Amino acid sequence: GRQDIVKAGLRLAKAIEAGEVDETKVTEEDFSSLLFTAGIPDPDLIVRTGGDQRLSNFLLWNIAYAELYFTDTLWPDFDSRCLKEAIMWYSSRSRRFGGRVSELTNVPR
């Protein structure tokens, strides 16, 4: 969440100050490597249960291109049928990864 992003920013600032990183060449991958989730792939699908349509400070950096599925089902009641519904919904999505449909070519599925 936000705290993870702040701490990664502070680590990056220290590395730049120490001369370990060239500030003009910092990439998203460099920043991602400083997060607590470093080395873990970004999620493709986030399922939010309980009817809330918000992220609650969850994986803010990592979900930029994730599909968000909201369900009124409460977590204790979320079963294999609910998971199948979420996966079926996800499989019908047109993944654009931040682009417009007209820009899509060779998008990974």
pLDDT at position 71: 98
Same domain, residue pair 59 and 15: no
The answer to the question of residue 104 being in a domain is no
pLDDT (0 to 100) of residue 101: 60
Residues 26 and 10 in one domain: yes
Residue 31: inside a domain, yes or no? yes
Question: In the chain, how many domains are there?
Answer: 2
- pLDDT value, residue 107: 54
Beta carbons of 84 and 69 less than 8 angstroms apart? no
pLDDT at 10: 98
Instruction: Using alpha carbons, select from 21, 22, 16, 58 the residue that is nearest to residue 37.
Output: 58
The confidence score (pLDDT) of residue 94 equals 87
Prediction pTM value = 0.77
**What residues in the chain have per-residue pLDDT under 70?**
98-109
Question: What is d(CA 69, CA 103) in angstroms, rounded to the nearest whole number?
Answer: 24
Among 97, 95, 90, 41, residue whose Cα is nearest residue 70: 90
Residue 72 lies in a domain: yes
